Structure 1
Amino acid sequence: MKEIEVYWLWIYVAVMAAGAFYFASLSFQRKGVPRIEYLVAFIIPVWSGTAYASMAVGQGIVDIGEKVTYYARYLDWVVTTPLLLVALSMTGMFYIRKDKVIILGLVAADVFMILTGLIADLTSSWPLRYMWYTLGLVALLLILWIIWYPLRHKAQSQGRELASLYDKAAGYLSILWVCYPTIWLIGPSGIGLVGQVTDTVLFVILPIFSKVGFSILDLNGLRALKKSPDSNPLTA
């Protein structure tokens, strides 16, 4: 690993630490937002920063043929991305009883997506690598469908204010999540249009926005909500 990569990884760790401290500080004045929301927002940067710290000290990395696989990224994603979906689900069902089937469906599809991505990255055969990559994309499409159909419908049933917040949070997360397989594909794990240093930098910048950035948007949006839904829901 080059020195510039180590530098960027430590920047990431520092940002995650700052994010964890910020979310912990918000929890002292919850403003009607359940404690679990703050706990989830706190765990995400703590775990992600820990995973990236392991890479910064030269762990969480394995050579597969002529390619380096940062498997610590997947150890990060398999924990933090389901938590991001749980957070989005709690926002989408903020005023109502939580639908466990929707939440478990999102988490299961997400874990499947992350693990197929890891298998793809550990596979030296190109046809098999893209087979696993494609399976991960199918899981991503399922996640996006759940986010934008059944879960969004529930958010819309609770009034315009919550529906607006949900659309912002879901749109923000969806755009960033589509970037992950795109960067994977153009990087050393895929067709190699960008080198390892660029790949590392991109996988530092993107998770900062998709983890800390999302939680800032989500938590502060929830803290600004009324204590009960407005009287003009978008749907019955």
Structure 2
Amino acid sequence: MTSQSILYITTIIMFVGGLAILFMGKRRTRSEELHTICHGIVPIIAACSYFAMATGQGSVLLHDEGTAEGVTRVFYYARYIDWTFTTPLLLLTLCLTAMRHEKIRAGAITGAILADVLMIVTAFAFGASVVPWVKWAWFAISCLSFLGVYYVLWIPNIESSKADRPDIQADYRRNAAILSVLWLIYPFILAVAPDGLGVVSETFSVLFIAVLDVVAKVVYGLLTIVADNRATETDLAEGTVTHKMPTRAVA
């Protein structure tokens, strides 16, 4: 299987997955509607990114300094554009899950998203760099930014979720754990991919990142939508919904 075929297959999976999430998600409350739209649009954005990479519009050839003359690598810059939009959306819904019935901590959400964007932008600089010491300097900065994201997920957000129902606490901890583990794998695969040390082949790195992306965007999105629908049913039964969507009058 070639890198291009993997990219085309992932494009289809992402697009179908996004439509499935939009179809499965409900819009009984404004919170539920927001979760549905955010999780549905994430795989569709990814589908556009994978289509760009599959057609050659989302990649360029780079020649790293110090490598043999004529040896180049493919730099898939479109994936970083994808992550710049999709990971903040995933973070937003995750933070709102922790603060479902509590006061929204705008500072925590903003801090997590800004740290996340900084992590992605500096990871892009890492992949685009051709000078070794510059490349790994950017990699270190990206990893440090990642710690800021982890801090918000596991300290302020955990504190916010503790004041909520047990099912909301369980949903948040599960979702945070899934994303934390999945996102932790990315820097390792990027470090050994052609953009980094070049230990693994381009095809392997494309396949591995594609699998991670599908799990983080489609599988995670479906699981989250099911959990959010269940939590909304409890909200409606208990009368704890503060923003119920208006019903459309029938003539």
| TM-score normalised per structure 1 | 0.92
Gaps spanning 5+ residues in structure 1: where? Answer: 231-236
Distance 1:174 1:168, change over 3 A: same
1:38 is aligned to 36
How far apart are the structure 2 equivalents of 1:181 and 1:95? 34
3-state SS of the aligned residue for 1:124? coil
Q: Out of 167, 175, 185, which is 2:173 matched to? A: 167
- Residue in 1 that maps onto 2:67: none
Q: Which residue of 2 aligns with 1:96?
A: 102
Counterpart of 1:167, as a letter, is R
Change (3 A) 1:147 1:228: farther
From 212, 218, 222, the counterpart of 1:206: 212
Bigger radius of gyration: 2
Deviation at 1:189, TM superposition (A): 1.1
Within 2, Cα distance between the matches of 1:125 and 1:194? 20
Of stretches 82-91 and 212-221 in structure 1, the one that deviates more from structure 2 is 212-221
Q: Indicate the residue corresponding to 1:8 in structure 2.
A: 6
In structure 1, what is the Cα distance between the partners aligned to 2:16 and 2:2?
Answer: 21
* CA RMSD of superposed structures (Å): 1.6
Q: How many positions carry a matched residue from both structures?
A: 227
CA contact (8 A) 2:49 2:79 kept: yes
Structure 1 residue corresponding to 2:58, chosen from 48, 57, 60: 60
Question: Does residue 1:83 correspond to 2:81, yes or no?
Answer: no
2: distance between equivalents of 1:56 and 1:200? Answer: 11
DSSP 3-state at the match of 1:227: helix
* Secondary structure of 1:194's aligned partner: coil
User: What displacement does 1:26 show?
Assistant: 2.1
CA deviation map 1:169-228 (0-9, x unaligned): 000000000000010011111111111010110111010001112211211111112217
Shift of residue 34 of structure 1? 2.4
Report the secondary structure of 2:196's partner residue: coil
Aligned to 2:244: none
One-letter amino acid of the structure 2 residue matched with residue 127 of structure 1: W
2:235 to 227, 231, 234: 227
Amino acid in the other structure paired with 1:82: P
Percent same amino acid among aligned pairs? 26
User: SS at 2:82's partner residue?
Assistant: helix
- Rounded to whole Å, the distance in 1 between the matches of 2:167 and 2:99 is 13
CA–CA distance in 2 between the matches of 1:34 and 1:77? 23
Between the aligned partners of 2:237 and 2:76, the Cα distance in structure 1 is: 44
The answer as to whether partners of 1:85 and 1:106 remain within 8 angstroms in 2 is yes
Once residues 156 and 125 of structure 1 are traced to their aligned partners in structure 2, the CA distance between those partners, rounded to angstroms, is 47
Work out whether 1:22 is the aligned partner of 2:30: no
SS of the residue corresponding to residue 34 of structure 1 reads helix
Alignment partner, residue 234 of structure 1:
none
> 2-side partners of 1:214 and 1:24: how far apart?
14
- Per-residue CA deviations over 1:104-157 (Å, capped at 9, x if unaligned) read 111100110000011111111111100000000001111111100001111121
Which residue number in structure 2 is paired with residue 123 of structure 1? 129
Check whether the contact 2:119–2:142 (CA below 8 A) recurs between aligned residues: yes
Q: Is the contact between residue 16 and residue 208 of structure 1 (CA under 8 Å) also seen in structure 2?
A: yes
Say if 2:32 and 2:228, in contact at 8 Å, map to a contact too: no
Aligned residues of 1:91 and 1:218 also touching (Cα < 8 A)? no
Look up the match of 1:181.
187
1:73 corresponds in structure 2 to 79
**Helix, strand or coil: the match of 1:94?**
coil
Deviation for aligned residue 1:229: 11
Q: Which residue of 2 aligns with 1:49?
A: 47
